[in-house]
Amino acid sequence: MAEQVKMEGIDRISDLHDSILIHILSFLSTKEAIKTSVLSTRWRYLFDLLPNIDFDLEEDLCRKNIKSYSTDVIENYMCSVDKMLLFCNTTNVNKFGFKCWIRMIGSDRFNGWISAAVDRGVKHLDLSTSVLPSSTLPIFTCKTLVSLKLGKYFVLNVPKDVHLPNLKTLHLHSVGFLNDDSVKGLFSGCPHLEDMVTRKCDLGKIRNFHISHHLLKTLTIRYSYNSFQCWLWINAPNLTSLEYYDRLVAGYSMENLQSLTKAVINISACKTFRADATTIFKGICDVPSLVLSDTSLELLLRCEPLPVFANLIRLDLPCHLRFRYSNPLQKGLETLLSSLPALEKLEFYQEVLCSLPEEVPSCLLHKLKTIKITNFTDEKYCIGKVKYILKNGGVLEKLIIVTASHISVGKKWISKTLFASARESKPCFILII
């Protein structure tokens, strides 16, 4: 019994190897990991070995239910960052993340942290702060940087000697560009860039947002500000995924997008369509998979002549009820189908199919295998659309119908009606949800 009591007094955790203790610390926030230094002399400098340093002021204050940002609270927090980056002996930093929305941090101090992380070979930088750096961020010649995420009020003043040889991921949130040269310099200085995301970026100071890169694979552009006078240029021969959520800008140039496998085009609704979207759709007409918003579909149908999507296999039209109140003579999906000779899978809201074409589209006769129709009702015109599809779908394998919540007669009546309809493809499976 005495031996057992003696064994219970041993600190077994502290006897573990450094690598195991560091792994345990990695589950804590960086601020909490620093606090373990007071446990014993064994723990005093362990936090210094953490490869990932992540500070989120708002999250930490919220966790402690601290609602006021006093100078003492902020200074104490900043000292923790100093301790991790400026006064420790860490040789390598894998990631440095810093989030803070208040402007109580001097730009010199902030730049000092970034410089320290760069000197220690940082690979991943994730910075979201209201700090307004007085000079160029000291990151543009970092040879070890693999991913860079910047957010909240940064204005990118990219130097001429920018060189980020290993950067593969670039995410910009609410970032502004100083001029056109900053945009061009950024891409030319990142020879291995593969993934780029811009969200709510301010394009007011540039006239040409020129995205030209030979290795870029994924590109997402979301909701730019002050872009109405800006041209968007995309030249990316290895781009496989493009997501564009924005209003129309002054003009477009889309070149060398032959590698594109999926595109999502969600152009925001506006009162008038001053700019021409034809260049967008011509630039992506070789894509195999396409998602279009309702406004995007309207813009596409205004193109003259209508682009032919010769390789398009899958089309998704997540359009909402706006089409229900459209003029019955307005162009709809039936017009677009004539330009989709290879289409095999189609998903759409039933309102998008405005009329039934007299000449059956070749894709419906010979290619379409799966069709999903959403917001289906028991009205005669709606039933007629599905009867048309069943009658002419020569190779149709699956028809999925998602009914609207307000249908009056119920799914059983719809099922009975459709199963009794003539079918060109006898093995077609019909599922009504």
pTM here is: 0.86
Q: How confident is the model at residue 78 (pLDDT cuts 50, 70, 90)?
A: confident
Closest CA to 318 of 286, 295, 343: 295
Q: What is the mean pLDDT of residues 131-146?
A: 79
pLDDT over 80 (residue 370): yes
pLDDT (tens digit per residue) in 100-130: 765 667 778 888 889 999 999 999 999 987 6
DSSP state letter for 225: B
Examine the pLDDT at 217 and tell me if it is beyond 50. Answer: yes
Residue 235, pLDDT score: 97
Q: Render pLDDT for 234-288 as a digit per residue (tens, 0 to 9).
A: 999 999 999 999 998 989 999 999 999 999 999 986 655 556 789 999 999 999 9
Percent of the chain, pLDDT > 70?
A: 83
The pLDDT of residue 1 = 44
Q: Give the pLDDT confidence score for residue 405 in this predicted structure.
A: 81
Question: Considering all CA atoms of the chain, what is the largest pairwise distance in Å, rounded to the nearest integer?
Answer: 95
- As a whole number, the mean pLDDT across the chain is 85
Q: How many CB atoms lie within 10 A of CB 27?
A: 8
Average pLDDT over residues 211-230: 93
Please say if the pLDDT value at position 53 is more than 50.
yes
Predicted local distance difference test score (pLDDT) of residue 2: 47
DSSP states of 148-197 as a string? EEEESS-EE---TT---TT--EEEEES-EESSHHHHHHHHHT-TT--EEE
pLDDT (mean) for 390-419: 88
Residue 230 confidence (pLDDT): 92
Provide the token pair at 387: 């009867």
- The percent of residues in the chain predicted with pLDDT above 90, rounded, is 48
Pairing of strands 241-246, 345-349: unpaired
User: Which tens digits make up the pLDDT trace of 252-266?
Assistant: 999 999 999 999 999
